Every structure is written in C-alpha cells, then in structure tokens.
Chains A and B, each alone.
Chain A
Amino acid sequence: LAKTTQPISMDSYEGQEVNITCSHNNIATNDYITWYQQFPSQGPRFIIQGYKTKVTNEVASLFIPADRKSSTLSLPRVSLSDTAVYYCLVGGKGGSQGNLIFGKGTKLSVKP
C-alpha cells in the first residue's frame, strides 16, 4: 500500500477555504484516494473518495491531478466544528476500504 505524506498541522479562520495536500508518489494503478476526518475520542469518519480528476460532495471536494501522485482535499468556508484531524489514505482493493493504512494525519485548527 502506498505511503502518504501530509502536513502535520494547519491553522485557518472561520469562513476561509482550506486546502490540505497529500503526496502519494507510489500510488498503484488500482488504488483509490480516500480522506477521513477524526474528532478526539471518536472513530474516523469518511469524507470523500476519488480515483482521478475531481470529486465533490456536500462537505468537500477532492482534486486529483493526472499523475495521481498527490491529491488535495478542499473544505469550503470552514467553521469551528471542522477542527479535527484529517487523514489521507490510498489503497483498497478495487476501492474497498476494509484494510486502511493511516498516517499521522493533518491536525486542522479553525479559529474564530
């Protein structure tokens, strides 16, 4: 499974757009890119998943360049409640996610 690299922490203010970039240079052809959010003392929560180009859902967008060696999670207009740790993962057999390899994640702090 491909290793990922993402910033340890990021700071933002309410109402701003936040972009968290993840590097995954050794991503395999069958790998998907998935982002999870985790609040303290809770289990991670699925945010978004993609394979290439751009994916958007009600909470975030995921941008994946053509070479797929990186990806960017975009959170529009963050609020204080978006303060959490965000994990970038690659892998999954055909997109399944039973065996996930988590890194240390990016700790996002949103300030008023």
Chain B
Amino acid sequence: ETGVTQSPTHLIKTRGQQVTLRCSSQSGHNTVSWYQQALGQGPQFIFQYYREEENGRGNFPPRFSGLQFPNYSSELNVNALELDDSALYLCASSLEGSGRNTEAFFGQGTRLTVV
C-alpha cells in the first residue's frame, strides 16, 4: 500500500464523452503527477501539479486538463474522448521543494476503456 488512492478503478466511456479521474495523494506530499500507460508501454507523463499550480506538462493535447486541491488531491479531466485514450491512468504523489530526494508513490491506476 502506497497511501495513494485512485478512483474509479475501472471505467468505460463512449467516444466523445468527458471523464474525470480522481487521486488522493499520500499524507505529507504536495505534488501530484499523472501518467498514461498504454498496453505494453511505459507510463507517459501527462502533467504535474505542485501546490495547486501546473508545474510541467508532457506531450498531451489541451483536452487533458487537471486540478489540484488545497488538500493536494487531484483530478484529471479528459474531454472529447478518443479510442486511443484507452489506457491505465496512473497518479503519483511526491514531496517536492524539500531539498532532499523524494520518491514517487504510485496509485493502482484507473483502467479507462473508450468504446
């Protein structure tokens, strides 16, 4: 158990719909990062939130957006879903800005299927 929880665990959506995925970060962590992992591939960085501000973004279109709340939990929103958005979405929390090494703790992921 990493202390990072994601909901829902599985989700099926129709092409064109919108989806919101949620992540509760580990206690004491202030940074949340989101990753997309297609079958057989390594996780791909979507974006990171640090103290409620976006703090880096990967090569994903604007229809992928996010939020971080004062308690450091986070949401990933995807609009206009496409079939290729089907993947495991991973959330990772870490402590940043502390001047020391921090490891990232991943949740179990949300399996999104777009049909």
Contact = CB atoms under 8 A, between A and B. Distances in A.
Contact of B42 (A32, A42, A87): A87
Contact of A98 (B41, B44, B55, B111): B55
Interface stretch (A21-29, A44-52, A61-69, A70-78): A44-52
B104 interface: yes
A102 B102 contact: no
Interface string B30-51: 0101010000111111001010
Given A46-B105, A98-B104, 14 more contacts: A34-B103, A42-B109, A43-B2, A43-B90, A44-B43, A44-B90, A96-B94, A97-B101, A98-B50, A98-B56, A98-B92, A100-B92, A102-B44, A105-B42
**Which of A41, A44, A102, A105 gathers most chain B CB within 10 Å?**
A44
Range, interface on chain B: 35 or more
B10 to A, nearest CB: 10
Contacts, number: 77
Given A43-B108, A43-B109, A105-B42, A96 B102 contact: yes
B106 interface: yes
A20 interface: no
B107 interface: yes
B31 A98 contact: yes
Interface of A: 32, 34, 41-46, 49, 87, 92, 94-105
A96 B98 CA distance: 9
Contact of B96 (A46, A96, A101, A102): A96
Given A41-B111, A43-B90, A43-B92, A99 B45 contact: yes
Nearest to A93: B96
B100 A95 contact: yes
